[in-house]
Amino acid sequence: MPHSLLLADAQTAADFLTFAGRAARIADEGIRLQAAGGVLRMSAATLAPQGLLDATPTVIGMRILASDPELVCDITVPAESLQRDPGNEAAITLPATALNPAWTGVAPPQSGWEHVGTVTAEHLSALAAHGISIVAGRVPTGTGEEIVRSVRASVWGPLDDTLFDAPRGVAFTADALGLISSRRPAEEAAVFRVGRWTRFSTPGGHVLSRGPARVGLTDVRRTGAVV
């Protein structure tokens, strides 16, 4: 595991830390850092199943940045542990230990994506705001982590036909990780699909979702009726 990540410049390092800070607030299973060929992919799962019988879909936000061409890594670390190297404004220091969450073992396809449509940033922002208000109303202060996770899954897990049957967590992820901007409401996310995976690509990055097992779709859709 490298001691630090060398990025393209100080501005890229600032962008890195902005994404990491946002991920630290909403993703509790670390941030994955994959670098090769001068490209760094930062990924954070905002929704993921807990166990084999959990029908919760997987939703991953991704930001792609320029890095040192010689940097090669694939590690997952706590997002809150990342900070700028005081001796180099273009470098990020890493913690001594790494994480191994289950969601990192579910890799989206590298090819075969088919374009299926577009969704506006305005629509994603509206869905995110609506869901956030519902979560806030259902989670009292001091609620345990398991209950919070359950409430979030009930709100963000349902599939939405306005999102090409992707989970509503896609909208939350795009908004919370800064992959869309309320200042650009007409901006669009291009939507692609391959197998059970759907990808929403914006100028700010990507949101990838993997739907639940087919046996869970009926329950997930019915849950969505209350949102």
What pLDDT, in 10s, does the model give residues 48-75? 988 777 788 999 999 999 999 999 999 9
22 and 54 share a domain?
yes
Q: How confident is the model at residue 1 (pLDDT cuts 50, 70, 90)?
A: low
How many angstroms separate the first and last alpha carbons of the chain? Answer: 43
120 and 88 share a domain?
no
59 and 15 share a domain?
yes
124 and 191 share a domain?
yes
75 and 10 share a domain?
yes
169 and 221 share a domain?
yes
Pairwise pLDDT comparison (7 vs 151), residue with the higher score: 7
**Whole-number average pLDDT of the chain:** 89
Pairwise pLDDT comparison (139 vs 118), residue with the higher score: 118
What is the separation of C-alpha 152 from the centre of its chain, rounded to a whole number of angstroms?
14
Q: Which residues pair with 36 in a beta bridge?
A: 39
As a whole number of angstroms, the distance between CA 224 and CA 160 comes to 8
As a whole number of angstroms, the distance between CA 179 and CA 202 comes to 7
Domain that holds residue 211: 114-226
Per-residue pLDDT tens for 22-50? 999 999 899 999 999 999 999 999 999 88
Write the CB contacts of 87 (distance below 8 Å, at least 6 apart in sequence). Answer: none
52 and 128 share a domain?
no
- Residue 172 contacts residue 128 (beta carbons within 8 Å): yes
Among the candidates 79, 105, 131, a domain finishes at 105
**Max Cα-Cα span within the chain:** 54
Number of structural domains found in the chain: 2
Find where tokens 């994506």 sit.
113
101 and 118 share a domain?
no
Q: Which pLDDT value is given to residue 141?
A: 67
202 and 170 share a domain?
yes
Task: Write down the pTM of the prediction.
Answer: 0.89
87 and 160 share a domain?
no
Q: Which residues pair with 43 in a beta bridge?
A: 32, 62
155 and 196 share a domain?
yes
Q: Which pLDDT value is given to residue 225?
A: 33
Instruction: Provide the 8-state DSSP code for 210.
Output: E
58 and 84 share a domain?
yes
